[in-house]
Structure 1
Amino acid sequence: MPNSRTLAEPPVVRAALAAQALALRDAVRALDEAELALPTRLGDWRVRELAAHLAIQVGWVPLHVDDPAPDGPLLGLTAWVAAVRSAADLLDEAARRHAAEVFAGPTAAVAAAFDEAVDLLTDFLAGPRAADAGRRFGLRFGPIALGDMLVTRLVETVVHADDLAHALGRSRFPHDTRAVAAVSALLLAALAERAAGADVVDAVAAADVVDRAEKLAAADPLAWIRVATGRDPVPADLPAGLLPLLG
């Protein structure tokens, strides 16, 4: 199973995550009242709920790094990809509550609340505890290594930054390229694992699916990420039974 070292070295992950969070901070600071009320492609979430969800995800590690981590084998990154869908209802509820309680104010208050989450993360990433990639971190799915947990934050910040750009009618978000590369690689690894164990394809077909996805990712990693996360339709040459991986 891939871990953070197979996707990017831990210092690169930390730098990419800090850059991605700061780019999101700038985007949220620029939102006006009308933009906060815009719909998103995430059900009935408005940009306000999306910003609230992003703030939770950005601040999660520094707020919970000292929580007790459960015993047991560490959760790998592809296992996290497979498991995170099961938390969709809880994540939706948390985002709505955060939007109503913390992100309900005017744009200046929203920006300040988002700044606070980003400051928590960037201060943590610059400190010594973030460098302990093997530190156990507790999730509802089981323990995960801190280095891998930070990769999951790359997934959240890349995928939802793209959601934000889409909601605002912008063609692109100023992603950190290292963050996009790490997310693309993780989703390819998760697809390869799912294809290898799927009943709908044999070994040759599974390898062909992964090869086609790799070509899409090489040509346009964000296009691949959108397919893998259910934002864009699955291309005809990629069996829909294997995709999306997240959504």
Structure 2
Amino acid sequence: MSPAKKRPRAYDPAKTRAAVLAQFGAVREAVRGLTPEQLALPTRLGDWTVRDLVAHIGMALAAVSRLVDEAEPRRQDAAPTDWPAAIAADAPAIAETARCLAGQHADVDAHLADVERRFTAALDAHPGTRLLATSAGALPLADYVVTRTVELVVHTDDLNAAVPGLDVPYDRQALAAATRLLADALAAKAPGGSTEVRIPPYAVVQCVEGPRHTRGTPPNVVETDPLTWIRLATGRLTWTDAVAQARVSASGERADLGKLLPLMA
């Protein structure tokens, strides 16, 4: 018997908006002090420099103001959990746009300030139910803003990895939303109830086909921390390395998630 279809997780639009702006603000504050030499540093994202990465972080918010200016789809045909897989197909175009924007905006802080202004104006002008034609399909504005937490948290981590000593903080609400969305995306990719994935303190999901436990400790358990989970889900860390480094614990014959990860890259 197939598992019952789960109700999509609900997010508070006001809290999500605040989380996105807080994380973006933390990036802006950090980037404001970067030197030209630091902006030219390489990143772990192929041939991207830090300047390219910063431009891409701006794109995370700019996408919202761009999409609300396009024609509204007639009906919703996607869920936030569809977004991680869909974004991978757009990677080449995304990279080219980031490099182009990096070349166009010498003053990165001024560019990010303008992006933030247009983002807040878009949210003020449209209800959360307004549909957007995203790469994953038609999504409500409020749901699409949740995906922005993933973009911002992931790329904040990329930024911290690229610039020694930078240490941009993670907004708790942004980290929570990003963790939960990616955990739910795993459950949607591998539906079932035989394996429990725990990412304290933010998320617990069940996934993978097989015998479903009904009480007590499940036979297959995976547990890790939020940043390790996000790195696994986005291909910044491999399952094998995470297990070898004891950054994830996995017990049970169905607790190996290596073939299901990453969810996006």
**Cα deviation digits, residues 173-228 of structure 1 (max 9, x gap):** 2111000001001111111121228xxx962389979841xx21xxx211111111
Q: CA deviation at 1:233?
A: 2.0
Quick one: distance in 1 between partners of 2:166 and 2:36?
21
Structure 1 unaligned blocks of 5 or more: none
The letter of the residue matching 1:228 is A
Quick one: distance in 2 between partners of 1:70 and 1:226?
33
Q: CA deviation at 1:171?
A: 7.3
Quick one: distance in 2 between partners of 1:206 and 1:170?
45
Q: CA deviation at 1:134?
A: 1.2
The question of 1:243 aligning with 2:249 is answered no
Higher strand share: 2
3-state SS of the aligned residue for 1:242? coil
The letter of the residue matching 1:245 is L
Call closer, same or farther: CA 1:163–1:34 in 2, change over 3 Å.
same
Q: CA deviation at 1:159?
A: 0.6
Call closer, same or farther: CA 1:169–1:206 in 2, change over 3 Å.
farther
Structure 2 counterpart of 1:91 = 94
Structure 2 unaligned blocks of 5 or more: 1-5, 193-206, 244-249, 251-255
Task: From 200, 204, 209, give the equivalent of 1:203.
Answer: 209
Quick one: distance in 1 between partners of 2:212 and 2:34?
43
Equivalent pair of 1:209/1:239 in contact (CA under 8 Å): no
Quick one: distance in 2 between partners of 1:63 and 1:28?
23
Quick one: distance in 2 between partners of 1:16 and 1:49?
23
The question of 1:230 aligning with 2:235 is answered yes
The question of 1:71 aligning with 2:74 is answered yes
The letter of the residue matching 2:40 is A
Quick one: distance in 2 between partners of 1:223 and 1:140?
26
The question of 1:183 aligning with 2:185 is answered no
Which entry has the higher C-alpha Rg, 1 or 2? 2
Percent identical residues: 38
Equivalent pair of 1:7/1:182 in contact (CA under 8 Å): no
Structure 1 counterpart of 2:111 = 113
Equivalent pair of 2:82/2:136 in contact (CA under 8 Å): no
Equivalent pair of 1:23/1:174 in contact (CA under 8 Å): yes
Quick one: distance in 2 between partners of 1:87 and 1:98?
17
How do residues 9-24 of structure 1 correspond to structure 2 at under 5 angstroms?
Answer: 9-24=12-27
Higher helix share: 1
Q: CA RMSD in A?
A: 2.5
3-state SS of the aligned residue for 1:44? coil
Equivalent pair of 2:40/2:49 in contact (CA under 8 Å): yes
Equivalent pair of 1:138/1:144 in contact (CA under 8 Å): yes
The letter of the residue matching 1:239 is L
Q: CA deviation at 1:19?
A: 0.8
Call closer, same or farther: CA 1:232–1:36 in 2, change over 3 Å.
same
What is the aligned residue count? 229
Call closer, same or farther: CA 1:135–1:37 in 2, change over 3 Å.
same
TM-score by length of 2: 0.78
3-state SS of the aligned residue for 1:144? strand
* Range 115-124 or range 74-83, more displaced: 115-124
Equivalent pair of 1:25/1:118 in contact (CA under 8 Å): no
**Cα deviation digits, residues 161-180 of structure 1 (max 9, x gap):** 11111101247421110000
Relative contact order, higher structure (CA 8 A, sep 6+): 1
Q: CA deviation at 1:72?
A: 4.2
Quick one: distance in 2 between partners of 1:150 and 1:157?
11
